[in-house]
Structure 1
């Protein structure tokens, strides 16, 4: 009787470190009933041929075709799920105006469960089709539709970390879109946490509740304190925005006379399971606090180009030991693809290093040492995201979840420019990073189950 639930054969790319790619050429990947990678077997291993003989021709044997490759499933650390309905809209106005004119009116509609079902169902399917097997979601202030998002993730096979958003300050939030009061916000959050934990008992790939103050400007001190206590009580994930742009960073300094990071920490919201979005304006003391507390950064390079007023020095933060992954920030970021975002991460880092003001002398124009490679950006989209969430995801190696996307470089309608059958595999990897579109992603698997195919 076959020992493994599934056996896969093919060439995989995975992160060996934050700067180095590992190429597993023609390996076997043995997946157990829990959807975990139990064994990774090289062609020269003595077990390789006997296993191949035992599984070939069986329904649970999966062999990649020529020109196909495995990548880890992507980990998206920052998605505003309701904003999928406005992606590509109004990105030409400042953040404060964008929120109040477009975003908050849209999010208020998610009290309607039918509307929420339509948008969330489409979003989760779209992210899976783009290779994203794990997503960290902001929902809305509505407890019921936030739970619906977690249920859709569970049903479709995506690993969803979902937060019911807290916006309780009547001075800072629109009358038609906020929590009724602080007590209601905290009670709804606790009920949401318990409901998602219950849902998780029957969800193979996992769903997780996330304590989610939208950001400091939308919350009262009492709400922030209560949310920190709930995170501690349930050992829950925490997410928020931190020092995203000039407006938010300045608002927190005016209110608390300290930077966002230290204000959040005072309320118990920086912890090993915390992921803070953007973080463009962190200084070195803030970064050290992130490192000490185990707080991760969700780097959203496309969104930052529109709304953050700066380029985040991601290489500097990483060098100081901060955990960093990538986020699409739908819809401040218009694209649901982490391929698009990892490309932009590289582009933005080069612009930060070289500078953008041609009237300045070259030596004064940029910030030396800021560039990252596409290998590093791939790490952020995969293993970096997994480390940020403290989950065994984002790598193709033993004791990690079988979360993979199968990339076909030989699609007749969209063939990648690979003309030498013996082309260096690292060069093939780079072409996949820069040129893959959704149609190249032929299958997506999460926790050992197929969740998308085309």
Structure 2
């Protein structure tokens, strides 16, 4: 197959959850499908000959000094309409936040002109922050949710989009809910069919996602019907699971079991399921997630505001649960997974060391809770790809060419790299802790350039 692009440069990619692979001065050959067909290392016998053959080609791209490749980020939890309220009201309880700010904003997406304006902005902003794949909650509005899918297709981002279902009158406001259960299910099915049709002409892929907002917002009939639709069309599923004391307690009172088992009863835990937050999963819940292939989306910034806890992410990983990372706009204020990688490490350290200084050190924290920067990077990239069962999140052969080109020498955001012989793993760490959107020179998805910073 003809190579549409050839790149030369140094890349960082996850070898495993704990190990970052450094591909120094490699050649990357991208085919017409946007996949990495071949990677050639400088020590390979054909490296110099290939470099001589292609270096003058118009499709040959050599990184400049101080530039590096990172995999594009996979953000597994974004409320696209909440971009309109990002950065506000993070100091009030979750229940109040939803009813005072979030539901009123989301109800406005019945206006397609407003929806288009916000959705264009949020998709462009996320791409500029290095997010090449995004798992979106939209709103209850079928037409506006389809607009979001169309914008992802147009702008080149790989979008997984869900029309939200909220049909329980006991837990949703009059002005913002599905008309009734039958309408919610019919609209969901029509949305699934429309997005699958759109996907046929979208190179990077768009995917419909069955999306009960969370158990409190849905009737039993809706949850059952959504599980049946997920099976019928083999779609992705997303929801919130055991997020806060209030939500976790509500489900226990309603079903006499935890979220994980209640969702499973309705057919909503499957290989293509991603559940956000999951702070209160116990060992039985975690085992069920591992058994069904359900992934946990860790949202560390949002959790600091609304989850009433720090998720024991290292314990879930140890139990074989797939884990990715999410921004949770706007429960999380930042559209950057760089920020969430950093917070994931910080939160894990606080869980391990503890926060109550009135307790002795040995009783203050939860042992073996910390994660490394390498692991947080894995969650944001390869772990996210595995969570949605797609060949993304790694710079490796037979993976999509989804990359960020990081420029460490931007005058307004220069990284402190003064030693020309600096250890490349140290360079990687500095990028992960210090990079800002200005450092993201280009973003590519499925072999197509979707963002460039002049």
TM-score by length of 1: 0.99
Residue 411 of structure 1 deviates from its aligned partner by 1.2
Alignment of 1:391-430 (within 5 A): 391-430=390-429
For 1:265 and 1:3, locate their aligned partners in 2 and report how far apart those are by CA, in whole Å.
45
Residue 59 of structure 1 deviates from its aligned partner by 1.6
Cα displacement string for residues 247-287 of structure 1 (whole angstroms, at most 9, x for unaligned residues): 00000000000000000000000000000000000000000
Cα displacement string for residues 4-45 of structure 1 (whole angstroms, at most 9, x for unaligned residues): 111000000000000000000000000000000000100111
Confirm or deny that 1:371 pairs with 2:370. Answer: yes
For 1:79 and 1:54, locate their aligned partners in 2 and report how far apart those are by CA, in whole Å.
44
Aligned partner of 2:75 in structure 1 is: 76
Confirm or deny that 1:384 pairs with 2:383. Answer: yes
Aligned partner of 1:9 in structure 2 is: 8
1:358 match: secondary structure = coil
Alignment of 1:269-288 (within 5 A): 269-288=268-287
Aligned partner of 2:343 in structure 1 is: 344
Residue 57 of structure 1 deviates from its aligned partner by 2.3
Residue 49 of structure 1 deviates from its aligned partner by 1.5
For 1:414 and 1:104, locate their aligned partners in 2 and report how far apart those are by CA, in whole Å.
37
For 1:251 and 1:169, locate their aligned partners in 2 and report how far apart those are by CA, in whole Å.
14
Cα displacement string for residues 142-199 of structure 1 (whole angstroms, at most 9, x for unaligned residues): 0000000000000000000000000001121100100000000000000000000000
Q: Would you say the 8 A contact 2:2–2:32 is kept in 1? A: no
Residue 413 of structure 1 deviates from its aligned partner by 2.1
State the Cα RMSD in Å: 0.6
1:104 match: secondary structure = helix
After TM superposition, the runs of 4+ consecutive aligned structure 1 residues lying more than 2 A away are none
TM-score by length of 2: 0.99
Residue 51 of structure 1 deviates from its aligned partner by 1.6
Residue 211 of structure 1 deviates from its aligned partner by 0.1
Alignment of 1:198-209 (within 5 A): 198-209=197-208
2:174 match: secondary structure = coil
For 2:299 and 2:225, locate their aligned partners in 1 and report how far apart those are by CA, in whole Å.
28
The number of equivalent residue pairs is 453
Residue 58 of structure 1 deviates from its aligned partner by 2.0
For 1:57 and 1:249, locate their aligned partners in 2 and report how far apart those are by CA, in whole Å.
60
Structure 1 unaligned segments of length 5 or more: list them.
none
Cα displacement string for residues 276-308 of structure 1 (whole angstroms, at most 9, x for unaligned residues): 000000000000000000000000000000000
For 2:84 and 2:61, locate their aligned partners in 1 and report how far apart those are by CA, in whole Å.
36
Aligned partner of 1:148 in structure 2 is: 147
For 1:111 and 1:53, locate their aligned partners in 2 and report how far apart those are by CA, in whole Å.
57
2:412 match: secondary structure = coil
For 2:422 and 2:409, locate their aligned partners in 1 and report how far apart those are by CA, in whole Å.
14
Cα displacement string for residues 298-324 of structure 1 (whole angstroms, at most 9, x for unaligned residues): 000000000000000000000000000
For 2:255 and 2:387, locate their aligned partners in 1 and report how far apart those are by CA, in whole Å.
27
Worse-matched range after superposition: 434-443 or 42-51: 42-51
Confirm or deny that 1:63 pairs with 2:45. Answer: no
Confirm or deny that 1:180 pairs with 2:187. Answer: no
For 2:50 and 2:3, locate their aligned partners in 1 and report how far apart those are by CA, in whole Å.
10
Residue 54 of structure 1 deviates from its aligned partner by 1.7
Residue 3 of structure 1 deviates from its aligned partner by 3.4
Aligned partner of 1:108 in structure 2 is: 107
For 1:47 and 1:226, locate their aligned partners in 2 and report how far apart those are by CA, in whole Å.
56
Aligned partner of 2:297 in structure 1 is: 298
For 2:223 and 2:411, locate their aligned partners in 1 and report how far apart those are by CA, in whole Å.
54
Alignment of 1:241-280 (within 5 A): 241-280=240-279
For 1:389 and 1:263, locate their aligned partners in 2 and report how far apart those are by CA, in whole Å.
22
Aligned partner of 1:190 in structure 2 is: 189
For 1:124 and 1:89, locate their aligned partners in 2 and report how far apart those are by CA, in whole Å.
20
Structure 2 unaligned segments of length 5 or more: list them.
none
Alignment of 1:4-153 (within 5 A): 4-153=3-152
For 1:242 and 1:452, locate their aligned partners in 2 and report how far apart those are by CA, in whole Å.
34
Alignment of 1:327-338 (within 5 A): 327-338=326-337
1:58 match: secondary structure = coil
Confirm or deny that 1:224 pairs with 2:223. Answer: yes
Worse-matched range after superposition: 55-64 or 128-137: 55-64
For 1:409 and 1:369, locate their aligned partners in 2 and report how far apart those are by CA, in whole Å.
34
1:5 match: secondary structure = strand
Worse-matched range after superposition: 236-245 or 169-178: 169-178
For 1:3 and 1:207, locate their aligned partners in 2 and report how far apart those are by CA, in whole Å.
25
